[in-house]
């Protein structure tokens, strides 16, 4: 009996790590739609808040600090928002790109909060990787919008 129980436990364990869990096509489609919607929200928030000029012009220190703070909030919260909205039924390729993008957003925001400029080589690499991940997500979400079965 112990050998049988051990065999069943090993089978269950191997099945757990055997790839993606079984989800219906409807669950996957809903997960892709929700993920792409969350990505679009974050992409717009980051684009809006990282390109905001201080209301009083370049000499407005308080405005510059406020604009920078909003950019950092968009980066850090955007990354967290994406990870929180990622559904287990999201296809692995899209989920991987979303995780990569979200992690890069948070790393960029944390480094910016610490005073690291965008010209810093490590920060520049983060920005490039975030842009690449964003492009991959955009392509997967666009193919979904075009009716492609493999977002």
Domain extents in the chain: 27-145
pLDDT tens per residue, range 82-127? 999 999 999 999 999 999 999 999 999 999 999 999 999 999 999 9
Burial 66-92 (b: 16+ CB within 10 A, else e): ebbeebbebbbbbbebbbebbbebbbe
> What's the pLDDT at 150?
45
pTM: 0.79
Which structure tokens are listed for 60?
């407005």
Does 146 have pLDDT greater than 90?
A: no
Does 130 have pLDDT greater than 80?
A: yes
Please check whether residue 125 is in contact with residue 135, taking contact to mean a CB–CB distance below 8 angstroms.
no
CA-to-CA separations, 55 to 46, 72, 73, in angstroms, rounded: 18, 17, 18
Q: Is the four-CA dihedral 83, 113, 131, 125 of positive or negative sign?
A: negative
């Amino acid at each position: 009996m112990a050998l049988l129980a051990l065999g069943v436990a090993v089978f269950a364990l191997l099945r757990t790590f055997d790839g993606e869990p079984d989800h219906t096509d409807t669950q996957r489609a809903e997960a892709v739609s929700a993920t792409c919607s969350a990505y679009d929200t974050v992409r717009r928030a980051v684009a809006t808040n990282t390109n905001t000029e201080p209301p009083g012009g370049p000499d407005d220190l308080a405005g510059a600090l406020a604009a920078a703070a909003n950019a950092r909030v968009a980066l850090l919260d955007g990354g967290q928002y994406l990870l929180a909205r990622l559904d287990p039924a999201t296809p692995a390729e899209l989920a991987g790109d979303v995780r990569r993008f979200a992690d890069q957003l948070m790393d960029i925001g944390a480094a910016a909060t610490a005073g690291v400029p965008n010209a810093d080589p490590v920060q520049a690499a983060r920005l490039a990787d975030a842009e690449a991940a964003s492009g991959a997500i955009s392509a997967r979400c666009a193919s979904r919008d075009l009716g492609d079965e493999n977002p």
